[in-house]
């Protein structure tokens, strides 16, 4: 009996072998205090810049306000976008499930919910065509080139939005590749066609266009890089993503706008737009479809 009790005591002291049960505790990647404060700071910057651009517009005749109005609209749309993001209205979560394969144990799965600021893409769909229009008009590009540049730009932004909400890796980077190709079309229109046409203008305008267009294209090249390491591969957190985009947006919109308007206003022989833009449907500004028939 003593031997049996001793055997039972030894057996009961052996702990059960642990088993691996795949767990799925969701991970939420969202903005913290730094990101939220940054959104409010940029909102204020865009608001002040918009007011400044509207004031600058009213200080010149309506015939010379084209660049002022376009630039003011850029920061106005950006202001609305940043307000939406700051109050958490322009954001959704993208659900990603990450499979982790184990050699000797069952696969585990990790669900990640990452914030995607869709208001940012709405902003870009409205502001980047206006910014392109500023540059195209400065260079003197024709309507066909402007249309191609604007449509390519919209394709770039929309495919980027689709990529941000795509779960599967293959389609996500496929959308990203489409966005990059569309961006190259924009680069071609500004860097090749725009630079070629602006050479027909005075040297000061040509030099200024090369500088501000080059500045813009460099900034725009950084955007897809940030996207690739943020929404694309999730190698940086949401706060770092917000700060990176905020710096780029401030440089690409308010800084771009002040540079464009101050330099443009200082140039002698600033273009004056008459016709419908300045006079509406009056006799001098009426839009004609064709010449009146003579001798009717």
Q: What is the total count of domains within the chain?
A: 1
Is residue 1 domain-resident?
Answer: no
Q: What is the pLDDT of residue 19?
A: 46
Asked whether residue 12 is domain-assigned, the answer is: no
CA 145 – CA 204 distance, rounded (Å): 23
Is 80 exceeded by the pLDDT of residue 271? no
For 244-260, write each residue's pLDDT tens digit: 999 999 999 999 999 99
Query: The domain that contains 183 carries what CATH number?
Result: 1.20.1070.10
The reported pTM is: 0.81
Residue 275 lies in a domain: no
CA gap 58, 240 in Å, rounded = 38
In a domain, 59, yes or no: yes
Percent of the residues in the chain that have a pLDDT greater than 70, as a whole number? 77
With residue 110 as reference, give the H or E element that holds it: strand 108-116
Treating both helix axes as pointing N-terminal to C-terminal, what angle do 66-86 and 256-266 enclose, rounded to 10 degrees?
170
Which carries the bigger pLDDT value, residue 227 or residue 292? Answer: 227
pLDDT in tens, 95-127: 777 666 666 666 666 677 888 899 999 999 999
Query: Is residue 8 domain-resident?
Result: no
Between CA 175 and CA 153 the distance in angstroms is: 14
Domain assignment present for 176: yes
For 26-80, write each residue's pLDDT tens digit.
Answer: 777 788 899 999 999 999 999 999 999 999 998 887 777 889 999 999 999 999 9
**Residue 141 lies in domain:** 20-268
Q: How many CA atoms lie within 13 A of 233 on its CB side?
A: 7
């Amino acid at each position: 009996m003593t031997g049996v009790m001793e055997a039972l005591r030894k057996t009961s002291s052996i702990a059960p072998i642990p088993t691996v049960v795949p767990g799925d505790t969701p991970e939420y990647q969202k903005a913290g205090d730094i990101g939220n404060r940054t959104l409010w700071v940029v909102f204020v910057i865009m608001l002040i810049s918009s007011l400044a651009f509207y004031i600058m517009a009213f200080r010149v005749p309506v015939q010379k306000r084209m660049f002022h109005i376009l630039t003011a609209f850029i920061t106005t749309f950006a202001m609305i976008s940043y307000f939406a993001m700051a109050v958490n209205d322009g954001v959704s979560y993208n659900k990603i499930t990450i499979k982790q394969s184990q050699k000797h144990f069952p696969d585990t799965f990790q669900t990640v919910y990452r914030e995607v600021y869709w208001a940012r893409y709405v902003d870009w769909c409205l502001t980047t065509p206006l910014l392109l229009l500023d540059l195209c008009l400065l260079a003197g590009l024709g309507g066909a080139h402007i249309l191609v540049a604007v449509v390519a730009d919209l394709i770039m932004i929309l495919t980027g939005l689709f990529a941000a909400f795509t779960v599967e890796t293959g389609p996500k980077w496929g959308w990203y590749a489409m966005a990059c190709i569309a961006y190259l079309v924009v680069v071609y229109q500004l860097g090749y066609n725009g630079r070629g046409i602006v050479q027909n203008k005075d040297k000061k305008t040509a030099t200024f266009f090369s500088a501000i267009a080059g500045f813009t294209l460099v900034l725009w090249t950084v955007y897809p890089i940030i996207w690739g390491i943020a929404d694309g591969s999730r190698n940086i957190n949401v706060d770092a993503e917000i700060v990176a985009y905020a710096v780029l947006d401030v440089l690409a919109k308010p800084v771009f706008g002040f540079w464009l308007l101050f330099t443009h206003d200082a140039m002698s022989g600033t273009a004056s737009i008459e016709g419908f833009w300045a006079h509406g449907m009056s006799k001098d500004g009426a839009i004609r479809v064709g010449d009146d028939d003579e001798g009717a």
